[in-house]
Chains A and B, each alone.
Chain A
């Protein structure tokens, strides 16, 4: 991570082909591998959690049920009765991001949500789905959203471009919010971890001072655990809000 005095905080985001030449040929890096691991963990959690299928749930089953009901309530409360249709999608989105964020907190692992390509692809997927649902449910009335109801017609030349711009900026803000949060957290981990190594070079006093960055990194882990779930929640709830607008009559 640290070579000499320079700090390489971005090396952790580099992609390396896996499976040698075959991986290089099919563009397979460690990032998709971690995606598979994240999805497998979520599915395994649900599988083993719900395996007893008990009327009085154990701890793991209760946890799985809480996750299910949390996302279901999120979807149904925000989108409305149509939320049940989108619930599996919101669940997939929420846990894909959450598992990705948390998997990245394990040392020496990789955070696929720290790649703008991944987060932007997710955001564009949400954006496109919300447009498709809008057109399907509302037809051409969908375009009426670009002119706020009750606004004077004279302001239309000003309002319509603003509304279109804000609509188009949705996937950008959605993807950059997640990407930037993840990058920032991991860069800070790296910076403070590098401080420890740099201070270690100062002898005894450095060893004592190095406790500081370690403590900060421990606190940062707590913060990142919060950020990880918060960003997944924000992504999911914004998706729900966009879908509610899409299904609103």
Chain B
């Protein structure tokens, strides 16, 4: 890319530089002699001195005054652009930080809520289990007392059964034999039967 540009530039220069030679060779150009080559004329050489002074002042004015002014403006602009970019960058960092904080807060709140929920559920579960246990204990106690009641009732019923059996046996014996049996013997016989078993045919008396 660099070579063709240089080539074009050089050929362009060569072409333009060749032009004056053609013109300079044209008739008429030499007719009066070139005023530029008349070095005996003090005005021709005077240009060099004046030109030197003017160029020096021009250079000093540019270096000391005109160019620094341009430089200052360009520098200020660059600084401003860089400053604005920095500011925008800082704002972005700030915004990112805020978003991150927001997310963290959200996450923390969610975790807290979950923990709260878990603890409430746990508490509820524990209290339910406790209530269940209490209920069971109460029910068992009731069952036990009911069983005890039943057992006592049964015992009482069984106990009240014997005198009746004795009376029935006594009256049976009296009806059959006509004699009142010995109460003690009847009781012994009933006790014997009762001891043999409640079920089945009663043993022969």
Contact = CB atoms under 8 A, between A and B. Distances in A.
Interface of A: 6-11, 13-17, 26-29, 31-32, 35-36, 39, 42-43, 46-47, 50, 53-55, 57, 61, 64-65, 68-69, 87-89, 91-92, 96, 112, 114-118, 121-122, 125, 177, 179-181, 183-184, 187-188, 191, 227, 230, 234
B29 A112 contact: no
Contacts of B52: 121, 125
Nearest to A188: B23
B44 A53 contact: no
B70 A10 contact: no
Contact of B54 (A14, A17, A35, A191): A35
Contact of A50 (B20, B61, B69): B69
Given A68-B74, A88-B67, A187-B23, A28 B16 contact: no
B187 to A, nearest CB: 133
B201 interface: no
B72 interface: yes
B51 A46 contact: no
Contacts of B42: 27
B50 A234 contact: no
Interface string B54-82: 11011101110011011111101100100
Interface secondary structure of B, over-half rule: helix
B103 to A, nearest CB: 39
Contacts of A230: 12-13, 16
A27 B23 contact: no
A118 B35 CA distance: 13
A90 B49 CA distance: 20
Contact of A234 (B13, B24, B47): B13
B65 to A, nearest CB: 8
Contacts of A43: 58, 61-62, 66
Contact of A39 (B58, B67, B73, B74): B58
A9 B28 contact: yes
A196 B51 CA distance: 35
A87 B62 CA distance: 10
Given A10-B29, A10-B34, A46-B66, A28 B39 contact: no
A17 B17 contact: no
Given A116-B37, A117-B36, A121-B51, A88 B62 contact: yes
A15 B43 contact: yes
B50 A46 contact: no
